[in-house]
Structure 1
Amino acid sequence: MRTVGVEEELLLVRSGTGQAVSLAQQVLRRADVIGDADPDGPGPTGAPGAAGSSLDGELQRQQVETGTAPHRHLLALHEELGSWRAHAESAARRVGARAVALGTSPLPVETLAAPDERYRRIVDHFGRLGSEQLVCGCHVHVAVESPGEAVAVLDRVRVWLPTLLAVSANSPYWQGEDSGYASYRAQVMGRWPAAGPPDLFGSHRAYRERVEAMLATGVVLDEGMVYLDARPSRTYPTLEFRAADVCQDPRDAVVVAALCRALVQTAAEEWDAGKAAPPVPTQMLRLATWQASRFGMSGELLDPGTSRPLPAADVVGALVDHVRPALREADDDLALVEEGVARLREVGTGADRQRRELERTGSLGDVVAAAVRTTHGLDGEGHDFTVAGIGVAHGSGR
């Protein structure tokens, strides 16, 4: 069974107001202290024995990034996701802030880039595009056996990336206003010159040639700025899925991870069997990405095979059917995904949650407060929740 790991970007907000705050450096210092004091809990250099786990800074000082170790079992992945969220939250509360899984800040914010030489170069080179970049995504890493397999899988999963975006949509607000999109983060990311749906490459050599050609232009500063919606990882032997918003509900993040792993396994088997990759033009995938960004799960999505609009529930159902054999092979993944998709149909995405909360309270600050509770697996009364019938508590730092 392939391993899967998740990186989550979390927004730092002021307790009581929900305003994004530039406290990443202070939070990371507090996290160091907590990690040193509790050797059994996750710390800034990772959980004991878990290579790849981390809590780190990001482009803007209003966000931090967590990263889990690779996991074979989704319950273990879910537990580590919750632990890192709780660790970031515990450190944030020590400096008067909260850590929340929101794709964008609902309230107006003035960004401040982190004191990192690479980030400074990005902001200097890209101007307002760099300085306005405050979005939080969910990146899923799925193990692959070789660079050649990574690109073969990429060619076959690319048509499903907009569906993953729709399932995870969690960023309807931008600078205090409703953007009209379920995932405005996808629109912000799409402004970068090397972002968006990947082309069909055909081979690892062709992929590398394209990356080197992009770097030779001088437009992108380094390979890390090849912000494709999925790409072979530069650091790990994985395919990295980058299409998703950070999920407000950690259970949704686990569903996204399960679907990504099943997509990789299904695509690898198709490649081994000599089945050709779907020849969908990149421009059609751009249209599908826009549609998913605009409506999330609340409207129509474009069918990956025909590029014609269908109800979102039908397209998500088609994705589950496509990867069903792979989900069945991986422990309880099928039951977890089916339960998660049913929950999304009933409760909605993070974007739906945010809009309902604003309609209920009239306050974007209350939207953020509700998202903080959901981020850490608590309802309004602080109750725990379950994943696929298994009780898991994630209310406090370790």
Structure 2
Amino acid sequence: MSALPSAPRPVSADRAPTIGVEEEYFLVDAQTRSIVPAGPAVAARAAREVGDLVTEEFDQCQVEGRTPPCRSAGELRGELERVRGALAAAARAEGLRLCASGTPVLQDPGPAHVGDHPRYLAGRRQYRSMMDDFAISALHVHVHLPDRELAVLTGNHVRPWLPFLVALSANSPFHRGRDTGYASWRSVIRSRFPCLGPPPYAASWEEHERLAAVIADTEAILDPGMPFWDLRPNPRLPTLEIRAMDVLQDLDDTAAVAVLLRALVVTCAGEAQRGDPGPRWEGEVLRAACWRAARDGWSGSGFDALTGRAKPVADLADDLVGFVRPALEEFGDLGEVTALFQRLATRGDGAARQRAWAEDAGGPVGAVDGLLLATARGSGPDG
């Protein structure tokens, strides 16, 4: 594999590329604390305030909010608060609450309540019972990168960091009323699917398209033009999209992760433009590393993108900051990212917070109550 240099110069020194975020949420009954299939009604109500920045999701127990393209962490934080606020108000008007967790803590027995979008129905036909508990909420970050060829080559450098992002964002230890023993059970649910997870290494945009087409012929992907890998040139937007993360409780954390990923994309794009092909880790290695990250979260050890050996996740965070520091400083984001890692060191990841709330209140209901407060505030009752 190709070694990653410690401090490359960013490719965009004059203006920071725009970033955008998508967040998925569960709708929860405040009395039972179970998820409720009211997504269409809540999305329609919130759209009166923020238009097409909100939408339904695959499972009708969910809604999605997204930001317009933003230039700074502060601007992004404001847009996230506006959209989350609109969805939270719409949920309350329907007698419900908004919940930022990667999986449902409590859920009635039975299959998912699938929306009537043609793609959702096609997924149900193709994947069958694999979709029965596919109610999971993610954080997606988009970084403006309109050149498709460069986006693929940049992705080759970014993909070894996907396990770290799983650990960083872990916020789904509970599923249907039980503690799974994992920090990100959402990642485990996704790992069942042959078309989800780290993308294959591709030496060009043409190879990327060819690989997607071959996999689609096996029916593991619904549409070769829209692969659902954890990292992809977005099929409709001029962005490189990173999709590995659980939705986060705290909007400050979300904004900080977004600017961190912008710095990573810009730094890796510079390496790609200089002809570095990037580390060619096999997909099996990265899937295994993502599994360990999903199990252990921030408190564990993770995959070192340079050596391939296990290393404490907190040390990997220091390595990543060192790698992208010039871009963080150039765009004025170093303080945001440093504060994020300080918060994680103090309070742990989202999974640790959920477990602490459950322990304090005698079970999963306490985790739901903590999540509802955290989602409403953008931070938890302890922070």
TM-score by length of 2: 0.92
Residue identity over aligned pairs, in percent, reads 37
Aligned to 1:390: none
1:133 deviates by 0.5
- Residues 60-69 or 189-198, more deviating: 189-198
1:134 deviates by 0.3
Aligned to 1:279: 280
| Residue 156 to residue 379, structure 1, CA distance change in 2 (3 Å) | closer
Q: Distance in 2 between matches of 1:101 and 1:138?
A: 10
The 5-angstrom pairing of residues 286-305 of structure 1 reads 286-305=287-306
The 5-angstrom pairing of residues 27-42 of structure 1 reads 27-32=42-47, 34-35=48-49
Q: Distance in 2 between matches of 1:213 and 1:182?
A: 33
Paired AA for residue 246 in structure 1: V
Aligned residues: 366
The 5-angstrom pairing of residues 361-380 of structure 1 reads 361-377=361-377
Q: Contact 1:161 / 1:243 at 8 angstroms: preserved in 2?
A: yes
1:293 deviates by 0.5
Paired AA for residue 336 in structure 1: E
Structure 2 runs not aligned, ≥5 long: 1-15
Q: Distance in 1 between matches of 2:147 and 2:320?
A: 25
Aligned to 2:344: 344
Aligned to 2:96: 97
- Residues 163-172 or 361-370, more deviating: 361-370
Q: What secondary structure sits across from 2:298 in the alignment?
A: coil
| Residue 150 to residue 177, structure 1, CA distance change in 2 (3 Å) | same
The 5-angstrom pairing of residues 19-168 of structure 1 reads 19-32=34-47, 34-35=48-49, 43-45=50-52, 54-109=53-108, 110=110, 111-168=112-169
1:275 deviates by 2.4
Aligned to 1:40: none
TM-score by length of 1: 0.88
Q: Contact 1:143 / 1:239 at 8 angstroms: preserved in 2?
A: yes
Aligned to 1:48: none
Structure 1 runs not aligned, ≥5 long: 36-42, 46-53, 386-398
RMSD across aligned positions (CA):
1.6
1:217 deviates by 2.9
Q: Contact 1:288 / 1:307 at 8 angstroms: preserved in 2?
A: no
1:360 deviates by 0.8
The superposition leaves residues 207-240 of structure 1 with CA deviations (integer Å, 9 ceiling, x where unpaired) of 0111122223334222476221101100101001
Which of residues 8, 20, 23 is equivalent to 1:5? 20
The 5-angstrom pairing of residues 150-299 of structure 1 reads 150-223=151-224, 226-299=227-300
Runs of 4 or more consecutive aligned structure 1 residues displaced over 4 Å after TM superposition: 378-381
1:378 deviates by 5.8
Matched, 1:14 2:29: yes
| Residue 127 to residue 224, structure 1, CA distance change in 2 (3 Å) | farther
The superposition leaves residues 106-160 of structure 1 with CA deviations (integer Å, 9 ceiling, x where unpaired) of 1133421112222122112211111220000001000114001100110111011
Q: Distance in 1 between matches of 2:98 and 2:41?
A: 13
Q: Contact 1:12 / 1:24 at 8 angstroms: preserved in 2?
A: yes
Q: Distance in 1 between matches of 2:296 and 2:30?
A: 30
Q: What secondary structure sits across from 2:150 in the alignment?
A: helix
Higher relative contact order (CA 8 A, sep 6+): 2
